Amino acid sequence: MKKKELEIRLQKLDSHPDPSPELEQYMTPGDVAAGLLYLARSHGSIEGRGVYDLGCGTGRLAIGAALLGAGTVTGVDVDREALRVAEKNAERAGVEVEWRHADVEGLELEGADTVVQNPPFGVQRRGADMKFLGKGMELAGEVYSIHKATPKNRSFISRHVEELGGKVTHRIEKDFHIPAQFRFHTRDVYRFKVDLYRIERR
């Protein structure tokens, strides 16, 4: 499947009917999701591989991995409503994904080949993003993860990944937008930069 087609298919998936600001429940824009999945694909980390999507929400990354030929895909989220939408989205996309209701903290799963994730940025709950990174690196040798692009975040993530025994091999900056969806949003759309990371466990 061409990247553009993947982007369009992911963009069309249903969103959460009542997103929670505390859980930072915004969807990854189709182009960003496709960008992360193609980065993973270019390293041979999707096709035929065991893939986890941590904080899968309504399933864009998990479904995208399945559409690109992953061997098995498991999406994990703490919110049942998000998983209900994800399940319907997967059915409509014609792919199989196992959906798990669990908190990433304390999550116990067998190891996989690859983790793809767009964790909360840690704006509402400080450190939430780092918990996802740590869990991702515990579960798989390769982690593809989306984080807010700020100089402080960049150096913090590199250091944290090193401390956890890994290495950032790629960091790609992308535009990200969230349409107004929370009561405190006063603009139609919020635009900012994110980084797509590829992390290898040593």
Q: Rounded CA gap, 199 and 202, in Å?
A: 10
Backbone angles phi, psi at 66, to 5 degrees: -65, -40
- Of 50 and 167, the one with the shorter C-beta distance to ligand SAM is 50
- Of 115 and 167, the one with the shorter C-beta distance to ligand SAM is 115
Q: How far, in Å, are 30, 36, 60, 134 from residue 70 at the CA level?
A: 18, 14, 14, 23
For 130, residues 6+ apart whose C-beta sits below 8 A from its C-beta are 122, 160
- Of 47 and 105, the one with the shorter C-beta distance to ligand SAM is 105
Q: For the CB of residue 59, give the shortest distance to ligand SAM in the complex, in Å.
A: 7
Instruction: Classify residue 180 by its DSSP letter.
Output: S
For 141, residues 6+ apart whose C-beta sits below 8 A from its C-beta are 113, 114, 200, 201
Residues that bind ligand SAM (CB under 6 A): 23-28, 33, 55-58, 60-61, 76-79, 82, 103-105, 118, 120, 128
- Of 79 and 195, the one with the shorter C-beta distance to ligand SAM is 79
Q: For the CB of residue 129, give the shortest distance to ligand SAM in the complex, in Å.
A: 10
Q: For the CB of residue 136, give the shortest distance to ligand SAM in the complex, in Å.
A: 12
Q: For the CB of residue 60, give the shortest distance to ligand SAM in the complex, in Å.
A: 4
